[in-house]
Structure 1
Amino acid sequence: MERAKFKTIAKALLLTAFGAALLALATLALGLYNVAANRQHLQPVFSLLEFAVHRSVRRHASDVQVPVLDDPVLLQRGATCFRDKCLQCHGGPGMAQGDLGQGMQPLPGPLIDASKRWNAGELYWITRNGLKMTGMPAWEHHLSEDDLWAVVGFMHKLPQLSPREFAEWMLLDEREKTRCEPPMPKPLLPADAERGRRALYAYACVGCHAIPGTVQSNPQVGPPLSGMARRTRIAGVLDNTPQNMEYWLRETQSIKPGTAMPSMGVGEQDARDMAAYLQTLH
């Protein structure tokens, strides 16, 4: 008797799950779910995504080692990078987000309370790696390790700043004309093809080129890069060697002025890693 009851309940649950899956599929297939950026997700979708983000970040950032974050020089550097990289989307005490931040969904909220919702290691992980489908970019290839931690340090100071004090931090950098520049060159490491694959996303290569091993929407803007290792020439102007590929990735417009491929500001280490990955595409 109990077994028959259990089977009935199990069947009911399976049918309910199957029906829910069909309903979700039909909603997507018929275009009923509004993906417009001026419409927020439905609350269940928003809550599910927010739950997934919190659980994922806490798991992946659990072993991050946090340095000292209250050094005055580091905090000033963090203010510079915050102004140049974060302010436009997140705003600050007494300062509104820019048009870019205000027009996004999910809305990139203020970071005044970020250090209360996330610990320092988690804030570093988010800043370095970004968050999928939120508009939060990964700064791994565009900020040095020191600058990543400087931003985290400044976020920890934000709750202590009044609107006037925050404005003074921002204006100080304006007066001194300081900028959050790309990472300074360091001794090159051996080429890392996996890191190069990630860099293809960071420098937007996958937006124009179909590249094996990357997840994308099959762009048709630039030539596909499948079989790159077998090709003899790069853009018709250079022999296809790893060294020439690094050169091409860093100095595109200098090598072939007027080409549709822009110079993307690729760093030397990133170019080495990207070239290594492209050499795996046989």
Structure 2
Amino acid sequence: MKQNIFVTLIVAFVLACLAAAGVVWGGFYDISATSSHTQPVYSLLETAMRRSVVLRSRDIKAPPLGDAAKISRGAFCYRELCVQCHGGPGVAPSAIGMSLQPLPGPLIDAARRWRAEELYWITKHGVKMSGMPAWEVRLSEADLWSVVAFLQALPEMSPRDYDNTVAAAAPRPQCPAPANDATETAGGNPGSPAQARLLLRQYACVTCHVIPGVTGSDTQLGPPLAGLARRSLLPGGLANSEDNLVRWIRHPRGVDPLTAMPDLGVTEEHARQMAAYLLEH
């Protein structure tokens, strides 16, 4: 009896895998942003996201968030980075935000649905396949918590309060900080391979290059970067060295005005971590 049950389960599992493969390979699942997920799929993904955030934020301790200067700084960062997709009290999202699928939820009541530590984790790490970016590399720890402080204050704001708070927010320093800003940025363990892979993703290098150890599409827009240390010359005709690779990563058009590689705003520290990783792989 037990053997029959086991065989039945194996057969059912194989059939389920074949059915799923058929749906994927046949292109039957509509991935267009003009149609939504089915409600069961949407609910499953939303539940998985919430439980993932709860698990990964459980050891985070929020600092005091009631400081007016911190809320003001968070308001400025929110205006620069968040309102385009999430809107605000009396403020609609931009056309980009309203065209995403799934639609970014309003954050007016986010502090009532999420703990401060969870909002921090989401802001820092983003959410895969949702359009929610990770700000870990580009925002300092202070700015990440300032955004959370503003979100904590947002439920009590009327449209007029929101407009006044955002209008009064000091515009300096910029948010996110420019590449030459000395503000400490978040980002895990500097110098580690995992941190370098994060940077290579966050600066979009993997969208044009196949990079060892970094997940991405099999793109052919730029040359693959495996075995870079064995090459005598870097792009732009530079001799192969870490300093020259850092120079190329930060200012490619300064080396070769005709290159299609754009200036990505990579900081000196981040470029050096990326260069060290590429020359080791």
Q: Deviations over 1:218-266 (max 9, x none)?
A: 1111111110121222214322211221222112222222311000000
Letter in 1 for 2:191: A
Q: Give the letter for the 2:177 counterpart.
A: P
Preserved contact between residue 108 and residue 154 of structure 2 (Cα < 8 Å): yes
The 8 Å contact of residues 193 and 276 in structure 1, kept in 2 or not, is answered as no
Question: Structure 1: where are the runs of 5+ without partners?
Answer: none
The residue aligned with 1:219 is 219
Identify the residue that residue 52 of structure 1 maps to in structure 2: 48
How does the TM-score come out when normalised to structure 2? 0.91
Distance 1:9 1:61, change over 3 A: same
> 2:78: which partner in 1?
82
Code of the aligned partner of 1:182: A
Q: Contact 1:185–1:268 at 8 Å: present in 2 too?
A: no
**Alpha-carbon distance, 1:186 to partner:** 5.3
Equivalent residue letter for 1:64 = I
> Residue in 1 aligned with 2:182?
185
Compare 9-18 and 211-220 and name the one that shifted more: 9-18
> Is 1:108 aligned to residue 104 of structure 2?
yes
1:256 aligned partner: 256
Instruction: Report Cα offsets for 1:147-178 as digits up to 9, x if no partner.
Output: 111111111111010111112222234xx655
CA-CA distance at 1:48 after TM superposition: 1.6
* Distance in 2 (alpha carbons) for counterparts of 1:38 and 1:26: 23
| Distance in structure 2 (CA, Å) of the matches to 1:204 and 1:172 | 33
| Match of residue 194 from structure 2 | 194
Alignment match, 2:153:
157
**How far apart, CA to CA, are the structure 1 residues paired with 2:236 and 2:252?**
12
Q: Give the counterpart letter for 1:160 in structure 2.
A: E
In structure 2, do the counterparts of structure 1 residues 169 and 121 end up closer, same or farther at CA, with 3 Å as the change threshold?
same
Question: After the TM superposition, which of the residue ranges 59-68 and 88-97 deviates more from structure 2?
Answer: 59-68
Are the aligned partners of 1:89 and 1:97 in contact in 2 as well (CA < 8 Å)? Answer: yes
Match of 1:34 in 2: 30
What is the 5 A alignment of 1:137-152? 137-152=133-148
Aligned to 1:93: 89
Partner Cα separation in structure 2 for residue 169 and residue 237 of structure 1:
51
Contact 1:194 1:277 in 2 (8 A): no
Q: 1:203 to 1:36 in 2, by over 3 A?
A: same
**What is the identity, as a one-letter code, of the residue corresponding to 1:52?**
A
Structure 2 residue matching 1:279: 3-state secondary structure: helix
Q: Deviations over 1:121-165 (max 9, x none)?
A: 111111111111111111111111111111111111110101111
Equivalenced residues, count: 275
- The CA distance in 1 between the partners of 2:109 and 2:21, in whole Å, is 37
In the superposition, relative to structure 1, how do residues 186 and 89 fare at CA in structure 2: closer, same or farther (>3 Å)?
A: closer
Between the aligned partners of 1:70 and 1:187, the Cα distance in structure 2 is 22
Contact 2:87 2:106 in 1 (8 A): yes
Distance in 1 between residues matched to 2:239 and 2:183, nearest whole Å: 27
Return the alpha-carbon distance in structure 2 between the equivalents of residues 163 and 121 of structure 1. Answer: 26
The range that moved more, 160-169 or 17-26, is: 17-26
- The CA distance in 2 between the partners of 1:213 and 1:104, in whole Å, is 29
Question: Which runs of 5 or more structure 2 residues have no equivalent in the other structure?
Answer: none
User: CA shift at 1:62, angstroms?
Assistant: 1.3
Q: State the alpha-carbon separation in 2 of the partners of residues 155 and 200 from structure 1.
A: 30
CA RMSD after TM alignment? 2.0
Identity %: 46
